[in-house]
A and B are shown apart, each in its own frame.
Chain A
């Protein structure tokens, strides 16, 4: 082919457009691959597909064909919800323009901009969203590893069969038996989660097995809504719960799954059910993609949730290290909307607006005794920073606590509709 001046100018224009323009005019549709179909990933996939109206090709990779929400799984343990109510399919999302692939992502090649799946399939992307939740740190609880012992001492901290197993174990406890929880060190998913769980276990035992005891070994001096939980435990479950903080050796723990023993500060206790919630880090694929730091989390730009390691990668939810926001479904959902806006802006030139983030965590202490904590956040150059916050007060009347619980049911219906369509 003869190369004339006109032809040369033409390709030059295209090349410079690719290099400089945020938009990808005249090419094949821009591709976004989202890994993880929870509160961060499903929301991001849905919002990008919905708001770009077909201009962006969105693929969601999620290992489970049916998603079980970790939020509200404690209410299942407490008998306030059935298991099916925690489960959500991806049909509506798929009908809304998202290609849903039920597979496991096993590798990310950031240079080639591809994701490899367990099936061997390779997905190219222009922008990648990682929202893989948490994984557990091996060795964080001496004597316990997820692979070897989760069937004996469940973590139940990724909702699914583990949650069902823990419930069955609680219900099978002998009369007057002992339930133990090994609470996690910071940072971890759902800060009030372990303590709401204790409340739910106490509620079940109070009804079925009122002479049973609960011990909690905790490496943290303080935890989310501590005053509210302590007040609620004294009110509803007096004498049942023994919370052992670090001052009394709660951080010096070993478990012996073979003999069902828990060793707290050298003292051996025989237990009938043991919930081990280990130390946590970003979901494995984030580390495989090379976007995590030495602490095991993925640092992100506070204004957009974009990875600090790669301008084409976003990390949402539990896996991200962003600053003040707690690791929660609400946070992930909030972050996903900022990310979806930023990604659409880069790929289609759509308008972008300043990031706003928010979070609220509701917890149930006893029937119709709900409490909440929340905050709003804004990006600063260093981190996502808390702007304003609130927390339920101790001593609130029953009508307000009931309203708070009912509000949490409304939130669950709202966020799951927002995630899955």
Chain B
């Protein structure tokens, strides 16, 4: 049986059968996609080493930011420390839009929009994980990491004054001048990235508990207000 990974809902509905790796996409097509879009920076397969990006053997089940000998962006290292692990779901979200999941990633890739392409690519990547047959389609702990957001939410105009008041809560930890001493800067983030990231925390897709709590009680208008404020902070 061949099942294309077309939606995360479908993926969850399928569930998992331990020890059986269901086909998730066309690995051959994935190999072509990899050669065209990834291979300039990433190696995979026998003798693969870190280049511009980390080598991608044994990627599934690996903690983000943990390929031996590779120097990651602070942002990726922090997501790994916070608990981000590469599963079909997290990788799917990352490939779709790298900066929405890991804001400060150095991976300069615009994202792969077609879910079938992503499924094909992941099928190819999975062939180079240690025991591909043991990689479940969706581990019980796997998390979807990109929130489902309607265009209305993304297009919402934020009330900047309200955002300024709400931001005072953020500034207990995130320094307004943008300096980063263990807690990342959020000053001058593009509004849309901000909205996506906050909804990802609100839906508990991004792993950090403080941010899940902070975002959890903000409604759509409040997130838009904060985004409007931080995007235009001098």
**Contact call A415/B172, Cβ cutoff below 8 A:** yes
A413 to B182, CA, bound (A): 9
**Contact call A376/B214, Cβ cutoff below 8 A:** yes
**Contact call B175/A417, Cβ cutoff below 8 A:** yes
B181 within 8 A of A: yes
A414 to B174, CA, bound (A): 6
A351-372 CB contacts (< 8 Å) to partner B: 351, 353, 356, 358, 360, 372
**Chain B contacts for A388, CB-based, 8 A:** 213, 216-217
Among B74-82, B88-96, B102-110, B127-135, the stretch in contact with A: B74-82
How large, as a class, is the contact surface on chain A? 35 or more
B154 within 8 A of A: no
CB contact between B216 and one of A341, A376, A399, A417 (< 8 Å): that residue: A376
B18 within 8 A of A: no
Q: Mark A172-204, 1 if CB is under 8 A from B, else 0.
A: 000000000000000000000000000000000
Among A124-132, A221-229, A276-284, A402-410, the stretch in contact with B: A402-410
A358 to B183, CA, bound (A): 17
B171 within 8 A of A: yes
**Contact call A330/B161, Cβ cutoff below 8 A:** no
**Contact call B168/A337, Cβ cutoff below 8 A:** yes
A276 to B136, CA, bound (A): 55
**Chain A contacts for B177, CB-based, 8 A:** 417
**Contact call B81/A400, Cβ cutoff below 8 A:** yes
Task: List the B residue with the shortest CB-CB distance to A402.
Answer: B81
B162 within 8 A of A: yes
A409 to B166, CA, bound (A): 23
Closest Cβ of chain B: how far from A388's Cβ, in Å? 5
Task: List the B residue with the shortest CB-CB distance to A396.
Answer: B83
Q: Mark B140-183, 1 if CB is under 8 A from A, else 0.
A: 00000000000000000000011001101101111111011111
**Chain A contacts for B165, CB-based, 8 A:** 337, 341, 351, 353
Task: List the B residue with the shortest CB-CB distance to A47.
Answer: B168
A387 within 8 A of B: yes
**Contact call A376/B162, Cβ cutoff below 8 A:** no
**Chain B contacts for A351, CB-based, 8 A:** 161-162, 165
Q: Mark B174-217, 1 if CB is under 8 A from A, else 0.
A: 11110111110000000000000000000000000110111011
Residue among B173, B181, B212, B217 with most chain A CB within 10 A: B173
**Contact call B181/A410, Cβ cutoff below 8 A:** yes
Q: Mark B63-101, 1 if CB is under 8 A from A, else 0.
A: 100000000000000101111000000000000000000
A271 within 8 A of B: no
**Contact call B212/A390, Cβ cutoff below 8 A:** yes
CB contact between B172 and one of A333, A341, A372, A407 (< 8 Å): that residue: A333
**Chain A contacts for B175, CB-based, 8 A:** 413-414, 417-418
Residue among A358, A372, A375, A378 with most chain B CB within 10 A: A358
Give me 15 A-to-B residue pairs in the complex whose CB atoms sit less than 8 angstroms apart, sorted by A's number: A337-B165, A356-B166, A360-B210, A372-B209, A372-B210, A376-B214, A388-B216, A390-B210, A390-B213, A403-B78, A408-B182, A410-B183, A411-B173, A415-B172, A418-B175
Known A351-B162, A390-B213, A414-B181; 17 more pairs at CB < 8 Å: A333-B172, A337-B165, A351-B161, A356-B217, A358-B214, A376-B217, A387-B217, A400-B81, A400-B82, A403-B81, A411-B182, A411-B183, A413-B179, A413-B183, A414-B171, A414-B183, A417-B177
* Residues of B in contact with A (beta carbons under 8 Å apart): 63, 78, 80-83, 161-162, 165-166, 168-169, 171-177, 179-183, 209-210, 212-214, 216-217
